[in-house]
Structure 1
Amino acid sequence: MPDEKNYWTQQRPDGKWESKREGADRASKVTDTQAEAWKHSKHRAADTKGEALLKGRDGKIRERNTYGKDPYPPKG
């Protein structure tokens, strides 16, 4: 089940970058650069107290930022 508070940044097949809410059909924002899309995802995730996730070209998560209460805080 998608968590609608989370925002993903990923590259599209056309080479542009998108910021997309988890579970959404369409992108929230499409940009020419990864940096612009990542900035938008972090801003939206902070507003919803969710998580921003950045996918690299290889499809693996490169970076993630959690806003609000982290469900798995590290000990120590």
Structure 2
Amino acid sequence: MAGKNQHVVRRGNDWAVLGAGNSRDTAHFGTQREAIARATEIARNQSSEVLIHGRNNLIRERNSYGNDPFPPRG
């Protein structure tokens, strides 16, 4: 069973990791890079995805760490 997707989102001048459907952030970081590293660790443990939001709050990147139903060919 796949876990919750992890979102990396802007919070003021900081960045946060937010589990999909959660009302509270999992963690806060000073840089986006740190938030991405933590979100990736959680997603690998839960076999889910990381969705990285840019400063404009739109998703700019998506990485899957679980059973990808449609893996790209070579």
The alignment's TM-score, normalised by the length of structure 1, stands at 0.85
Which SS does the other structure have where 1:63 is aligned? strand
Q: Give runs of ≥4 in structure 1 deviating > 6 Å.
A: none
Q: Structure 2 counterpart of 1:8, which letter?
A: H
**Contact persistence 1:4–1:21 (CA under 8 A):** no
Which SS does the other structure have where 2:44 is aligned? helix
Match of 2:5 in 1: 6
For residues 46 and 53 of structure 1, what CA distance do their matches in structure 2 show? 13
Question: Larger deviation: 39-48 or 3-12?
Answer: 3-12
Q: Identity rate of aligned residues, in percent?
A: 37
Give unmatched runs, 5+ long, in structure 2.
none
> Match for 1:53 among 35, 51, 57?
51
Give unmatched runs, 5+ long, in structure 1.
none
